A and B are shown apart, each in its own frame.
Chain A
Amino acid sequence: MVSSWEPTLTTAQVAEFVANGMLRFDELVPAELNERVLAELPAMRDSKYAAFFGGAATSSTEAEEGKAGPPETGTPMSECHRGTAIGDVLDMPEVRGIVASLVGPDPLFDHDFVHHLPAGYGDRQHLHPDAIVDTADPTFDIQLFYFPHEVAPRSGGTRFVPGTHLRRVPSSSTARYQNVVGEQRFVGAAGTILVFHHGLWHAGDDNPSGDDRWMYKIRLNPTVPQVRLWDTTDFDTLHNDPSDHVFAVSRNDSVAAILRTRQPWQGEEMFRYDLVERTKLWRYLSDDPSFDADHYLTRLDRPRAR
């Protein structure tokens, strides 16, 4: 059965995504499907490696079973990996509901990859966002990081830094930050999916444990304006007016309050600049050009007496 693209995220969740650049959904994929995915990933990894290093980009498993091969960039998500366990994950109404809420129904496949860290893997990838060139406008892609098995501490869980997604940096320049205060390493149950804004700084970690670490990642491009795509039932309640100002009168139950989430690495100056960028993004998502948090953009917009 093909599920619908009914959005499932609330206004509060989308505001959290704007603030932190990510959302986390624990144990979203059921155990039986995780097991089927785990059985599929080694062949998919081999296919990806073969394509990357020069060769056919067709999974032997898929070819043997007469299934569609790996999707080409630009393929609608609904046509990707049909008849496979990964395809079944992408078809889940819970997954589609999250995706539709952020990038709209049936977004385009950008690329995917199987990230396998064998037991004892010793390298730590440098911190990076995932592209050299990305949009400077508020539109964004999302990336799903799907962990089909439990990941224990120090077992290769992906490293990431919440709140870094709106910093405009070349991909490799963040390599210099070996450690960032407040960074996290994924630890969690099987079936957990992290949803990242494309700009979020992240890295593969070492895996000193005795267990292999598998993760499937997919990047998705929107095809529609990303305006109020989510379940907006709570929109009018949370979407504050531009007067919401922490140094004057502010609400603690508004979008602005969520956007004010401060990360441990942010000093006051960094926090305020990031808040301005979050505010710009919320203006786009809410289609409210007068929206503000703490009056920064309203000051700039205000006609000046001459």
Chain B
Amino acid sequence: MTERQQILQLWLKVAALDAAVAAWAFYDGTDGARALPDSDPPYPNGVAALQDGWMLLQVPGPIGPDATNGELTAEYVFERRVTLGGSSSSGS
């Protein structure tokens, strides 16, 4: 049994987990059997990702007054651990 990690980054429209998704990225360390489609946001907001079994790793800190017009700031990072050859060990 081998455990592998999937990473989901969600940038939300404001820094609240129940806010809508503005951008996303998905990285898959598994065999690809549980990949996410990239044509539409995989979840409408961060809470929906939690409800689907993703474990929250990182939340954004306070946004300083200078960080107003650059990167998307409300970045949340999730992981899901998948056991290859069996069911996932963490998350759904």
Tell which of A176, A268, A273 touches B68, judged by Cβ atoms closer than 8 Å.
A273
Q: Are B25's CB and A179's CB within 8 A?
A: yes
Residues in B with CB closer than 8 Å to A277 are 69
- Give the interface size bracket for A toward B: 20 to 34
A167-B69, A273-B69 are contacts. A268–B25 as well, Cβ < 8 Å? no
Q: Are A270's CB and B72's CB within 8 A?
A: yes
Bits for A175-212, please: 1 = Cβ < 8 Å to B, else 0: 01111110000000000000000000000000000000
B19 beta carbon closer than 8 Å to chain A: yes
Q: Are A266's CB and B22's CB within 8 A?
A: yes
B13 beta carbon closer than 8 Å to chain A: yes
- Give the interface size bracket for B toward A: 20 to 34
A292 beta carbon closer than 8 Å to chain B: no
Residues in A with CB closer than 8 Å to B72 are 177, 265, 270
**CB interface residues, B 24-73, toward A, < 8 Å:** 24-26, 38, 41, 68-72
Q: Are B24's CB and A178's CB within 8 A?
A: yes
Tell which of B9, B12, B26, B71 touches A169, judged by Cβ atoms closer than 8 Å.
B71
A176-B9, A181-B41 are contacts. A265–B23 as well, Cβ < 8 Å? yes
Closest residue of chain A to B12 (Cβ to Cβ) is A267
Q: Are A180's CB and B23's CB within 8 A?
A: yes
Bound form: Cα–Cα A265–B20 in Å: 9
Residues in A with CB closer than 8 Å to B17 are none
Residues in A with CB closer than 8 Å to B19 are 267
A168 beta carbon closer than 8 Å to chain B: yes
Q: Are B71's CB and A270's CB within 8 A?
A: no
**CB interface residues, B 67-84, toward A, < 8 Å:** 68-72, 74
Nearest 5 A-B pairs (CB), nearest first? A267-B13, A178-B25, A265-B22, A180-B23, A177-B23
Can you give 19 A-B contacts (C-beta < 8 A)?
Answer: A166-B69, A173-B71, A176-B25, A178-B25, A179-B24, A179-B38, A179-B41, A180-B22, A181-B23, A267-B14, A267-B22, A268-B13, A269-B14, A270-B22, A270-B72, A273-B68, A273-B69, A274-B69, A277-B69
